[in-house]
Amino acid sequence: MEYPMRRFALAALAALSLTVPARADFIKNAAEWQRLGPDGQAAYAMGIYDVMTVVTADNKYTAARALGLRACGVSLQLKGAMVAQAINIFYRDHPEQRVATPFVAFNGYFERGACSPFINEARKEMGLPPMKSAPVPELGQQPDVQQPGQNEQQQNMQ
């Protein structure tokens, strides 16, 4: 008797799950990004990071970017909240980009800024020219991250 009841319960749960719409929207701009709230932003931001660190498309340039971003994430001990904070800083500092997706903001802050030294190192190792980078935001405006070699510099100063 236990099995028919279990089957019925599983069938009922399966049927109910079909009536609940999935919620995995594409965030199109800064206004939609803000509506996610801190936890949603952290999760979405790490999703962007995860995609950017594995997508290589059999291309040396995207492979170097993925390797550099991975090294950057490990070195800076990136967490979802830190990546989300960086996207918020990018939107704040570039009001003209508020119409862009968080993916563009991620690229603006990490790929073209904080992680560019790591990406250029990976490009160098793969025999590619360095990527042109935008200036890294001022230290006071960065999320809690460190640049490559910053620990060594701080240790040498002590």
pTM confidence score: 0.67
Higher pLDDT, 21 or 9: 9
Which structure tokens are listed for 115? 């992680």
Using CA atoms, how far apart are residues 88 and 42, in angstroms rounded to an integer? 11
Lowest mean pLDDT among 22-31, 43-52, 129-138, 146-155: 146-155
Using CA atoms, how far apart are residues 60 and 128, in angstroms rounded to an integer? 8
- Name the 3-class secondary structure at 56: coil
pLDDT surpasses 90 at 22: no
Using CA atoms, how far apart are residues 26 and 30, in angstroms rounded to an integer? 12
Pick from 44, 9, 31: nearest CA to 100: 31
pLDDT surpasses 90 at 138: no
Using CA atoms, how far apart are residues 39 and 24, in angstroms rounded to an integer? 14
Q: Give the count of beta carbons closer than 10 Å to the beta carbon of residue 34.
A: 14
Give per-residue pLDDT as tens, 90-132: 999 999 999 999 999 999 888 888 999 999 999 999 999 998 7
Res 132: pLDDT: 73
Sheet strands (E) in the chain: none
pLDDT surpasses 90 at 42: yes
Which structure tokens are listed for 23? 């919620």
- Name the 3-class secondary structure at 99: coil
Pick from 26, 50, 49: nearest CA to 36: 26
Res 41: pLDDT: 95
Res 2: pLDDT: 52
What is the DSSP code (8-state) at residue 29?
S
